[in-house]
Copies of this chain bind each other. A is one copy, B any other.
Amino acid sequence: MKVFDTHIHSEGRSVEDLEEMARGGVYKAVTCAFYPIVPEYPETLLDHFRKLTEFEVERGRSAGMEILPALGVHPRCIPPRYEVVIGRLEEFECVAFGEIGLETGSEVEVDVFVEQLKLAMKMDKPCIIHTPKRNKVEITGKILKILEDLGFPEDLAVVDHATEDTVEEILKAGYFAGLTVQKGKLSPEEVERIVSKYGFDRFVINSDTGFDRAEKLATVKAIERLGFDRNDLEKLAFKNAERIFQM
């Protein structure tokens, strides 16, 4: 089964790792912007974006994987003068803004998130929206309220790292939910329970493979064990993602 992994951080992976993922079925992946320390300078993120769109895309190509960059200011690495970054986000080619979202839900995080959502609405750009491990239900609620208040288009938001506790609310609000199969996030069994209950139309799947230890082929393995109609499995594996990100 070929899989479009909608959320990785390719920078945390060697070129041999990317080759292994490509050989295992991950033909395409969105690599999300993230800087693993809080940058002291907004300029660092501008060069980071160019690194993703040039170097990482080329590294993916040489490994046999199509890497599509998602760019933006992650809530865990907001630099001083972040408005400089958001003000120049339009200049870079990317398939989505991401990952953006909330971690603690602080005032500055909300400001950074909202400004990026407004730009996304203007540009008709999909957004990959991070939800945190801590206070997941509460912060997901806060994110959905922000999206609703903005009248954010339903087909432009993937609310990511969804769980059995948050998926219903995300789907009710009309957005896509991202299922992250990884230790500490969803198990393959949880993915199975979720799609058994809610179907396949509003989900994408990802591994969040990056700087931490990871099961690189978690997405492929999670889908291959599911006993559903092939057409449904393909929606989860790549068809929904192709529709969202290939506009």
Do B44 and A40 touch across chains, with their CB atoms under 8 A apart? Answer: no
Do B47 and A41 touch across chains, with their CB atoms under 8 A apart? Answer: yes
Count copies of this chain in the complex.
Answer: 2
Closest to A42 in B: B43
Provided the pairs A13-B14, A14-B17, A211-B15 are in contact, do residues A40 and B37 lie with their beta carbons within 8 angstroms? no
Interface residue SS majority, chain A: helix
Residues of chain B contacted by A47 (CB below 8 angstroms): 35, 37, 39-41, 44
Do B59 and A37 touch across chains, with their CB atoms under 8 A apart? Answer: no
With contacts A36-B51, A40-B47 known, what are 8 further pairs, Cβ within 8 A? Answer: A15-B212, A16-B213, A17-B17, A35-B47, A37-B47, A41-B41, A41-B43, A41-B47
Provided the pairs A15-B212, A211-B59 are in contact, do residues A54 and B37 lie with their beta carbons within 8 angstroms? yes
Kindly identify, within residues 2 to 50 of chain A, every residue whose CB is under 8 Å from any CB belonging to chain B. 11-17, 35-37, 39-41, 43-44, 46-48, 50
Closest to A52 in B: B37
Q: Whole-angstrom distance between the alpha carbons of A167 and B213 in the complex?
A: 40
* A-B residue pairs, 3 tightest by C-beta: A41-B43, A44-B47, A43-B43
Do B51 and A41 touch across chains, with their CB atoms under 8 A apart? Answer: no
The contact of A14 among B14, B41, B44, B55, by CB within 8 Å, is B14
Q: Whole-angstrom distance between the alpha carbons of A211 and B15 in the complex?
A: 7
Q: Whole-angstrom distance between the alpha carbons of A54 and B40 in the complex?
A: 13
- Expressed in whole angstroms, the minimum distance between the Cβ of A78 and any Cβ of chain B is 13
Q: Whole-angstrom distance between the alpha carbons of A16 and B212 in the complex?
A: 9
